[in-house]
Amino acid sequence: MTTGKFTDSFRHKGLRKKLVEAVKQKGITDIGVLAAMEAVPRHWFFDSGFLEFAYEDKAFPIGAGQTISQPFTVAFQTQLMQVRKGDKILEVGTGSGYQASILFQMGAKVFSVERQRTLYTKAKEMLPEAGYRIRTFFGDGYKGLPAFAPFDRIIVTAGAPFIPEALTAQLKPGGILVIPVDKEDYQVMTTVTREDDGSFTTRQHGVFRFVPMLGDKAHD
């Protein structure tokens, strides 16, 4: 459907090309990631009054005190995930649904959990209208999604005070968790790989800033 809210003009496409070029300049090399960012209209995830901000490489408020992550951060986390077509992926922190849509665009089966009721409801309505078939859940991402585990990949899109064991436990052998872990007032981008022998390998990938991962209770 390309009426109303879900239009994608030449201008938008042009701005998106530029954004992808900027992200590439900053070091993103995975062509699957770059192609998905060029394909998914980021302005669809913004309220209509703020469309002009959609193609800047910046985070932006999406309501309920949350933000849509900066495009470079989305690209960086997605690149770390080494997404393969058909991968079953869990996202913690649906927010606007943009990151989930990038993963869907790359051919993944995406499950996404959000603990803020308003954001969950908004994404649950908007994503299918926009053509992104993502399974959305209202709940606490600290627990993962045991009913649908295990996953090939898990991505956390909020700053986590620690690496929740429930998440590493829900990785398949060879699976990768990408999670920004709190350190003072910033986060260290961290990957945890579940090796075939069941052991875990943790690696760090530089400093980022995220909104905090919150509480163990889903909020209205």
Q: Catalogue the active-site residues.
A: 69
Spatial neighbors of 50 by CB under 8 A, at least 6 apart, are 60
Taking CB under 6 A as the rule, does residue 114 contact ligand SAH? yes
CB atoms within 10 A of CB 32: 17
Output the six-digit token pair for 188: 């260290």
Task: Examine residue 116 and tell whether it contacts ligand SAH (CB under 6 A).
Answer: yes
Nearest-angstrom CA–CA distance, 213 and 179? 11
Closest distance to ligand SAH from the beta carbon of 50 (Å)? 13
Query: What DSSP character marks residue 95?
Result: T
Coil, strand, or helix at residue 106? coil
Looking only at residues 138 through 167 of this chain, which bind ligand SAH when binding is defined by CB under 6 A? Answer: 140-142, 157-158
Smallest gap from Cβ 71 to ligand SAH, in A, equals 10
Q: Is 136 near ligand SAH (CB under 6 A)?
A: no
Q: Which of residues 24-63 bind ligand SAH (CB under 6 A)?
A: none
Q: Please, what is the minimum distance in Å from the beta carbon of residue 123 to ligand SAH?
A: 8
- Nearest approach in angstroms of CB 76 to ligand SAH is 13
Which is nearer to ligand SAH, 37 or 197 (by Cβ)?
A: 37
* Contact map string, positions 176 to 205, toward ligand SAH, x by CB under 6 A: ------------------------------
Reduced 3-state DSSP string for 45-87 = HCCHHHHHHCCCCCCEEEECCEEECCHHHHHHHHHHHCCCCCC
Q: How far is the CB of 1 from ligand SAH (least distance, A)?
A: 21
| Binding flag, residue 213, ligand SAH (CB under 6 A) | yes
Residue 198, judged by CB atoms within 10 A of its CB (0-12, 13-18, 19+), counts as: exposed
Chain-centre distance for alpha carbon 23: 16
For ligand SAH, which is the closer residue by CB, 22 or 166?
Answer: 166
From the number of C-beta atoms within 10 Å of its C-beta (0-12, 13-18, 19+), residue 118 rates as middle
67-106 residues in contact with ligand SAH (CB under 6 A) are 67-69, 92-93, 95-96, 98-99
Number of residues forming the site for ligand SAH (CB under 6 A): 23
- Provide the CB-side half-sphere exposure for 198 (13 A, CA): 0
Residues near ligand SAH (CB under 6 A): 66-69, 92-93, 95-96, 98-99, 113-116, 119, 140-142, 157-158, 211, 213-214
